[in-house]
Structure 1
Amino acid sequence: MDIRELVGQVMNKSVTEYLSEVSEGLIQIPRLYPPATAGQLVALEQRAGQSLEPHYRSFLLLTDGMDGFHLDMPLFGCHDWDEGERAVDGLAFLEGVREDGTAEDVGLPLDVGLFPVSVDADRCRAIFMLERPEVLPERFWWVGEGSSSFFGNFADLLGYAIDSSSYSPREEVN
């Protein structure tokens, strides 16, 4: 399944969840953004200090971020790093993960490249893009509230968000 189809399915699920929960106001209104430009992708790679995973790159060329991806979690786009608030939340969560030993607890090497691509509003859950190919086959780590899941690529992560039985993520690095 290509990224366009996966994004469509995630949006379908997100809109359905939003409409069923709208009176409680617990989740973000689902939203897609205009596509990122090639220049924005280059700038994001420089900021991240790593290459963009190919499926994440395809996602950003389709939509430069998504609100309401999973409950109150957005998926960051290039514009989020220019506008500030989400970038601040992402970097604060990253600092916390490094300081409290969460990354080491699941077996991540100290020098692994971690870059936030999603953080919930309460800074309790986040998704990081990883880069250390000689050690890790996975490129994404979804962590928070006592759980840890590693995903091979961004398409696997989207598929899991649509149907958690579609992918069996590792919980720690062996």
Structure 2
Amino acid sequence: MEVQNLLIELATQRIREYLSESPVFGLVPRLYPPATDQQITELSSFAGQELEQRYREFLSLTDGMDSFFPDMRILGCRDWLQENPETVSLQFLQILRESGTPVDVGLPEDIELFPVAIDSDGAKGIFMLQAPSVLTERFWWVGEGDSMFFGDFSDVLAYTVDIDSYSPRGSIA
């Protein structure tokens, strides 16, 4: 399914869920204005790796999304290309590295991980990675006992729309 269709379905679902809560609380579902081609190119440089095609497509439709999954938000260029870049994600990444979690799930010790989503507690995140010699997947969802790998960003979105629609792979170790 195309990123745009997944995004429409996901946003519709999250808004319905939000409005059906009584009382309404939590992170308000929100889409942001699209990132420009220049911002997306700058983010790729900042990330230290080529942005995965479907994530690039997502950013060209909306520069991030609040409440894409319960208490999680997808980060965009606006979160990184500013004076004070997203710190919760970087702190979570540091904790993961210090705990050895990437190596524990079979990732190379020196793998580049770039945060693309985080929960408000900084305890769950989704990282873009690029290690074609080790795995074909480009995204790793980790935290609170979860460790799942997704082929591309549309797989991440499909999973959040319907958890039964996509079966991510667990640890590669």
Q: For this structure pair, what is the TM-score category when the shorter chain's length is used for normalisation?
A: over 0.9
How many Å separate the matches in 1 of 2:85 and 2:148?
A: 22
How many Å separate the matches in 1 of 2:29 and 2:22?
A: 11
How many Å separate the matches in 2 of 1:3 and 1:47?
A: 23
- The residue that corresponds to 2:72 in the other structure is 73
Is the partner of 2:164 in helix, strand or coil?
helix
Offset at residue 40 of structure 1 (A): 0.5
1:115-141 deviation line (CA, Å, top 9, x unaligned)? 000111111110000111111110001
Offset at residue 84 of structure 1 (A): 6.4
How many Å separate the matches in 1 of 2:31 and 2:22?
A: 18
- The residue that corresponds to 2:119 in the other structure is 120
Offset at residue 82 of structure 1 (A): 3.1
% identity of equivalent residues: 51
Offset at residue 112 of structure 1 (A): 1.4
How many Å separate the matches in 2 of 1:55 and 1:172?
A: 23
- The residue that corresponds to 2:21 in the other structure is 21
How many Å separate the matches in 1 of 2:22 and 2:98?
A: 36
How many Å separate the matches in 2 of 1:148 and 1:80?
A: 24
- The residue that corresponds to 1:133 in the other structure is 132
Asked if the contact 1:86–1:119 (Cα under 8 Å) also holds between the matched residues in 2, the reply is no
- The residue that corresponds to 2:43 in the other structure is 44
1:146 aligns with 2:145: yes
Task: Give the number of aligned pairs.
Answer: 173
Q: Which runs of 5+ in 2 are unaligned?
A: none
Offset at residue 111 of structure 1 (A): 1.7
1:67-90 deviation line (CA, Å, top 9, x unaligned)? 110011010010011346771011
- The residue that corresponds to 1:2 in the other structure is 2
Please, what TM-score do these two structures have when normalized by structure 2?
0.95
Structure with bigger helix share is 1
Asked if the contact 2:107–2:134 (Cα under 8 Å) also holds between the matched residues in 1, the reply is no
Q: Which runs of 5+ in 1 are unaligned?
A: none
Asked if the contact 1:33–1:64 (Cα under 8 Å) also holds between the matched residues in 2, the reply is yes
- The residue that corresponds to 2:34 in the other structure is 35
**Which runs of at least 4 in structure 1 moved beyond 6 Å after TM superposition?**
none
1:135-156 deviation line (CA, Å, top 9, x unaligned)? 1110001111111110000000
Q: Which amino acid aligns with 1:80?
A: D
How many Å separate the matches in 1 of 2:172 and 2:137?
A: 10
Q: Which amino acid aligns with 1:17?
A: E
Offset at residue 95 of structure 1 (A): 0.5
Please, what TM-score do these two structures have when normalized by structure 1?
0.94
